[in-house]
């Protein structure tokens, strides 16, 4: 079976609801709901714990100076522009013998 032939349950249910004029909803098992909620709460607690423990480090001005310099360097070097405009990193071309090679590295946008 190809990947484009696989449909998820909500799409199939939506198709049959439109076709048959019904309004059947998907209900998840209780264990699935519990697992999803526990996972969410565990991730939230982990983020809170990490933020609580790195608070001492984040209050130092030297840390914020290096964060600001890194942000400035990344933004002014053109990486953000390249990401937004989907500029490729390099360009491939064929030579006279039909071999593919890199024509230009770090293309300009």
Total of domains in the chain: 2
Is residue 105 within 8 A of residue 82, CB to CB? The reply is no
Do 64 and 99 have their domain in common? yes
Q: Is residue 106 over pLDDT 90?
A: no
> Residue 5 above 50 pLDDT?
no
Residues 104, 65: one domain?
yes
H-assigned helices in the chain = 9-20, 30-53, 55-58, 61-76, 79-84
Domain boundary among 53, 73, 97: 53
Note whether 33 and 67 are same-domain residues: no
pLDDT tens-digit readout, 35-83: 999 999 999 999 999 999 999 888 999 999 999 999 898 888 777 777 7
Distance CA 50, CA 66 (A): 20
Most confident of 28-32, 84-88, 90-94, 101-105: 28-32
pLDDT, averaged across the chain: 82
Q: Which domain holds residue 74?
A: 56-109
């Amino acid at each position: 079976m190809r990947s484009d032939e696989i449909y998820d349950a909500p799409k199939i249910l939506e198709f049959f609801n439109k076709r048959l004029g019904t309004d059947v909803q998907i209900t998840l098992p209780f264990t699935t709901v519990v697992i999803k909620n526990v996972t969410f709460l565990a991730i939230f607690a982990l983020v809170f714990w990490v933020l609580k423990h790195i608070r001492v480090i984040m209050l130092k001005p030297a840390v914020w100076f290096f964060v600001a310099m890194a942000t400035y360097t990344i933004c002014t070097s053109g990486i953000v522009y390249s990401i937004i405009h989907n500029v490729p990193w390099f360009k491939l071309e064929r030579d006279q013998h039909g071999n593919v090679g890199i024509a230009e590295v770090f293309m300009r946008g």
